[in-house]
Amino acid sequence: MIISVVILAMVQMYSNNTFLFDSYKKHAQINQYASFLVANKEYGYENKNVTLYDLLNEFDMEDELRRKLKAKKAQLTYTVVKSIDLSEDSNESAPQMSLEIGATVLREEDNSVALMRLQLR
C-alpha cells in the first residue's frame, strides 16, 4: 500500500515537471522571436500582421528554417505608453522633437511577448 502511494506521488511529480519544462520551452521560443524585432527597424512601430520570415528576410538562412518561419504567422501591436515633448522653445521655426515610449506586443498563436520601444521623433 505504501509503495503504491509513493509510486503515484512520483508519477505526479514527473508529470508536473514535464509540464513546467514544456511551458518553459514555449516561453523561451517566443522570447527569441522578440529579439527579431530588435534587429529590424522596419517593423514594430505600427500594427501589422506578418510572418516571422518577414522580420528576418535580410539574413541568409537555410531553406528548411525559412519554410518554418514563413509558416508561422504573427501579429504586431504597437501601443504608445508615453510621449514626452522635448521642445524647450515655443518658437515655431525650431524643430519639434518628442520622445515616444511604446510597447510592441508580438502575438503568435497562444503565446505573446512585449518589448518596450523608445523612439525620437
User: Residue 91 pLDDT > 70, yes or no?
Assistant: no
Nearest to 117 by CA among 35, 38, 28, 33: 38
- Rounded Cα distance, 23 and 29, in Å: 10
Whole-model pTM: value is 0.64
Mean per-residue pLDDT over the chain, rounded: 78
Q: 61: pLDDT confidence band, cut at 50, 70 and 90?
A: confident
Domain containing 70 equals: 2-120
Overall average pLDDT of the 48-64 stretch: 81
User: Residue 77 pLDDT > 80, yes or no?
Assistant: yes
- Rounded Cα distance, 39 and 33, in Å: 11
* pLDDT reported for residue 88: 67
* pLDDT reported for residue 90: 60
- Rounded Cα distance, 114 and 5, in Å: 43
Domain count along the chain: 1
Beta strands in 32-92 (DSSP E): 48-51, 73-85
The residues facing 100 across adjacent strands are 83, 119
